[in-house]
Amino acid sequence: MTCSSDKLPALSGVAKTLRAVMGGTYLAGVWDNGNLLHHHLAWSTTGPELRPRPAYRAPTWSWASIDHPVKFWHKPGTDCLFHTKLVQAYVDPTGTDDTGAVKGGFLLLQGHLKRISQPYNKEALSEAIKLHLDTCEEIDYGDLFFLSLFTEYFMEETRYGDIDWDNFGRHLILVRHPQYRTGYRRVGFATTAWHDTDDPNHQDEAEVDPGNVFLEEIEVDVACEGYRGPGEREGHLVKIY
């Protein structure tokens, strides 16, 4: 692990051992095993200083693509409402070991792309949406796209017998990929949070999530692999490299 380019080969033996337990497909550090993939995409960097993205060793959606320590946001056992669907996953290994180093790969996800609505108050925006960038690159908020992975619900009974819900939105932050006309790359992770005591069935989350005040849904007019409509189970086909 002292050589960052060996990050995936160093963990190859661990991945092979875990395969019998995890099932599914190993994808450059994350597992495609039902909704577990969504949880493995929900990571952000930790540490006081961001660094430049190193030379390619994994797709941008994998924690292995950066040198920072990372935090995974999903807590096992919580109730999750998923907003995206995996359509296709592909990783191109550099050799015959499918748990070792890779030279390419992508995820094709179906969900609704959103952008920050204009104009906006930057201070109010930072209160509603916590942006966790992956690297120290210069990014304009107007260039950002958001793809919601899931909403996570924490239920707690108060001392008065009421049920409180603490609800957290988990979103990928994307920008257009410079080499692929309809492709994207990940540049960060966003979280939103709100408190709800009146809606245990989560029916009105669009109204109570403060992040939705600043994120507006895009319909047809955006680069993507295809658009399947505005419905909850439709949306954009988004290819992330």
The model scores a pTM over 0.85 = yes
Burial 214-234 (b: 16+ CB within 10 A, else e): bbeebeeeebbbebeeeeeee
Residue ranges making up the domain that contains 159: 4-240
Query: Is the bond leading into 93 cis (omega within 30 degrees of zero)?
Result: no
* pLDDT score, position 119: 82
Q: Are 222 and 236 in contact (CB under 8 A)?
A: yes
- Write the CB contacts of 170 (distance below 8 Å, at least 6 apart in sequence): 42, 73, 74, 148, 149, 150, 151, 152, 189, 190, 191
Rounded to the nearest 5°, which phi and psi values hold at 34?
65, -135
**CA atoms of 25 and 18, how far apart (whole Å):** 11
Closest by alpha carbon to 60, among 45, 73, 79?
Answer: 45
CA proximity to 202, closest of 162, 150, 130, 125: 150
74: how many CB neighbours lie within 10 A of its CB?
A: 20
pLDDT given for residue 160 in this prediction: 72
What 8-state DSSP symbol labels residue 61?
Answer: T
Radius of gyration of the chain from Cα atoms? Answer: 18
Q: What is the pLDDT of residue 61?
A: 98
Low-confidence ranges of the chain (pLDDT < 50): 206-207
Question: What domain count does the chain have?
Answer: 1
Q: Is the dihedral of CA 196, 201, 203, 205 positive or negative?
A: positive
